[in-house]
Amino acid sequence: MLEPVAYEADGIRMIGQMALGEGARKRPGILVAHESFGLTPHIVSVARRLADLGYAAFALDYQGGGVPLADRDEMSRRYRAFMADPSRIRRRAAAAFEVLTSHPLVDVDRMAAIGYCYGGTAVLELARSGADLKAVVGFHGGLATARPEDAVNIKGKILVCLGADDPLIRPEERLTFENEMTAANVDWRLNLYGGAVHSFTNPEIPFSMPPGFAYDARADARSWRAMLDLFDETLR
């Protein structure tokens, strides 16, 4: 079952998609954060896959209106604003998290968040805000933050899956993130996939992108399995 859910975040009307499988039992909840493009069919399909595996998955909307952006320049402008002030994306992610935890079929003691591209950055910021998450997974998402000191608020386990050849996430950024997580005593892991670049999970990138953006079926499958392994460890 897939159901659109309208909610307000940061003074903007958002429209996310709630995906649930059959049955009346309570189940773990997974927040799914989209790429900078906005809420695309690809991200909705991720929520459906998770629902088929027995989770309640809410594909949030952090751009507004529940539809992808049509303008790449506007996407870039918003990205820069989010990066400059993490509190903005934290508010939007927190509002979506409340939608998910309020659902009667969601077990609030077994919550996780995953995100793709900037969505990966977004769920890390949600974790840094102190959200009650057992697991957080980022796929080809940026690791930098304007408030690294907030890592001490992270409650769950962190998994980051990156392409080793991603031109947007340099080794120096990875090292800074590793130091941030270690200093905060976070249980973290970082998986690198050789030959993979940015957006390696997405076969349907909506904009014409420069070299360094490409789907990689092997990295996609391997990172998905790594995520499920973490869920088995923390949510079952």
Enter the pTM of the model: 0.97
**Residues forming beta bridges with residue 136, ordered by sequence position:** 113, 158
Distance (Å) of CA 97 to CA 104, 111, 167, 170, 206: 14, 9, 31, 30, 26
CB 40 within 8 A of CB 17: no
Looking at residue 205, its pLDDT comes to 78
In the chain, which stretches have pLDDT less than 50? none
Strand partners, 57: 19, 30
State the pLDDT at residue 207.
64
DSSP H helices in the chain: 41-52, 72-84, 86-101, 118-128, 171-183, 217-234
pLDDT at site 155? 98
2-234 in CATH: which number? 3.40.50.1820
Looking at residue 118, what is its pLDDT?
Answer: 97
The predicted structure's pLDDT at residue 211: 83
- Count the helices and strands in the chain (H runs, E runs): 6, 8
Is there a contact between 66 and 4 (Cβ–Cβ < 8 Å)? yes
SS3 92: helix
